[in-house]
């Protein structure tokens, strides 16, 4: 039975929200607003509950859009009446984030954070927004703030780990993932993140041991396991791992390219060729064309190899490896002037890696 005055209806809504009875809570808040259309508390909590509902992963795109739109309608009324109420701006930021309006979400979340010393969740969602805007440095700072407030905040730590990896800050990334694993040794995402970090640090045997421990392998765990095995020159096992990843999760550009490299190291030219060609169906990559050129050259198809090296330059004219590969081809053909030109171009493009060329 619903009450006949706004205040009891409001508290019924709050109680059911705490019990995660979302639909009952929504009905109660709507009932409160029917009884008192100026009840700002019920208006806020109705908007907040709609935001939470609109972020549910199982909603259709249309349902999510309509739910978030309704949430904004109520929250904007509260924000107009109470412009210094931080939680309203936070809820509006979540609504904009759910709607994919990341620039707007950033403004709203920054407004919320300027008004209140916020919880870890607020900084975490701010970090999510910054990642979506590809503003990675501030995203790392926001994620660090979140975990400083709640050290075991798992979503914030996972986000922080991913961004530290992107920023090549391996030591902090490793410490971050180990903190997660100290709380739950079976945390698959943290284990995969740690394995990837170990791989990037060049600790390939440690990466293999770590990634082998994942109980239910994912696409990423198999991809990095395969790469680590390849770096240990175990191309047979690396190939097996890539084939498992493709069989389980389907082919993509990176997996097919990696499989092609493993097959080429095993001198399985036909299967290497097929893997690189499949990689190109997903992404027209200069590196795949280079590898195709190497395979063609290994099979004695010099004209086809030259065509692939030129394709690589057409796709990626600033890729040092493409100029280097073409330079090696010219050098092998006795065309020393052309070879010197390509090697020089490779060195100029390689920057810090120039001595290798």
Q: Please list the rounded mean pLDDT of every run of 10 residues in the chain (357 residues).
A: 75 90 91 92 92 72 87 95 96 93 96 91 97 97 97 96 97 97 96 97 97 95 97 97 98 98 97 97 96 95 96 95 94 94 92 68
Q: 221 vs 2, 192, 225, 226, 288, CA distance in Å? A: 51, 6, 6, 9, 22
DSSP 201: T
pLDDT digits (tens, 9 = 90+) for 102-119: 999 999 999 999 998 789
Phi/psi for 32 (5° steps) reads -60, -40
| Residue 62: per-residue pLDDT | 85
Of 168, 224, 170, nearest to 196 by C-alpha is 224
CA–CA gap between residue 308 and residue 213 (Å, rounded): 40
DSSP state string for 1-51? ---SSHHHHHHHHHHHHHTT-HHHHHHHHHHHHHH-TT-HHHHHHHHHHHH
Q: How far apart are the first and last CA of the chain?
A: 79
What is the predicted pLDDT for the residue at 254? Answer: 97
* Residue-level pLDDT at 354: 63
d(CA 149, CA 29): 32
Distance of CA 70 to the CA centre of its chain: 29
For residue 38, report the phi and psi dihedrals to the nearest 5 degrees: -100, 10
Q: What angle do CA 254, 248, 250 make, to 5 degrees?
A: 45
Q: What is the pLDDT of residue 208?
A: 98
Q: What helix, strand, coil percent values describe the chain, rounded to 5?
A: 80, 0, 20
- Residue linked to tokens 């620039």: 103
The per-residue pLDDT for range 275-311, each reduced to its tens digit, is: 999 999 999 999 999 999 999 999 999 999 999 999 9
Cα gap 109→126, rounded to integer Å: 6
């Amino acid at each position: 039975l619903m009450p006949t005055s706004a205040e009891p209806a409001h508290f019924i809504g709050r109680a059911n929200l705490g019990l995660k009875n979302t639909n009952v809570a929504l009905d109660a808040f709507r009932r409160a607003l029917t009884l008192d259309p100026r009840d700002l508390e019920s208006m806020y909590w109705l908007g907040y509950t709609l935001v939470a509902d609109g972020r549910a992963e199982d909603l259709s795109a249309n349902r999510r859009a309509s739910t978030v739109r309704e949430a904004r309608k109520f929250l904007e009324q509260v924000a107009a009446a109470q412009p210094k109420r931080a939680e309203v701006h936070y809820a509006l930021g979540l609504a904009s984030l759910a709607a994919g309006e990341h620039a707007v979400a950033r403004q709203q979340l920054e407004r919320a954070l300027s008004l209140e010393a916020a919880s870890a969740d607020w900084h975490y969602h701010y970090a999510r927004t910054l990642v979506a805007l590809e503003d990675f440095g501030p995203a790392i700072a926001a994620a660090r703030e979140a975990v400083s407030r709640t050290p075991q905040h798992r979503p914030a730590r996972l986000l922080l780990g991913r961004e530290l990896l992107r920023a090549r800050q391996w030591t902090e990334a490793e410490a971050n993932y180990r903190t997660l694993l100290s709380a739950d040794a079976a945390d698959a995402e943290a284990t995969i993140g740690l394995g990837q970090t170990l791989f990037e640090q060049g600790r390939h045997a440690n990466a293999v041991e770590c990634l082998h421990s994942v109980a239910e392998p994912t696409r990423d765990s198999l991809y990095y396991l395969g790469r680590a095995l390849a770096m240990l020159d175990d191309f047979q096992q690396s190939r097996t791992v890539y084939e498992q990843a493709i069989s389980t999760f389907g082919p993509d550009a990176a997996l097919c390219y990696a499989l092609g490299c493993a097959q080429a190291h095993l001198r399985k030219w036909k299967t290497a060729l097929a893997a690189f060609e499949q990689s190109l169906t997903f992404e027209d990559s200069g590196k795949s064309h280079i590898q195709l050129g190497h395979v063609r050259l290994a099979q004695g198809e010099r004209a086809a190899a030259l065509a692939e090296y030129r394709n690589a330059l057409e796709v990626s004219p600033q890729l040092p490896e493409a100029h280097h590969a073409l330079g090696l081809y010219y050098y092998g053909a006795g065309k020393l002037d052309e070879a010197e030109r390509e090697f020089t171009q490779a060195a100029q493009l390689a920057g810090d890696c120039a001595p290798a060329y």
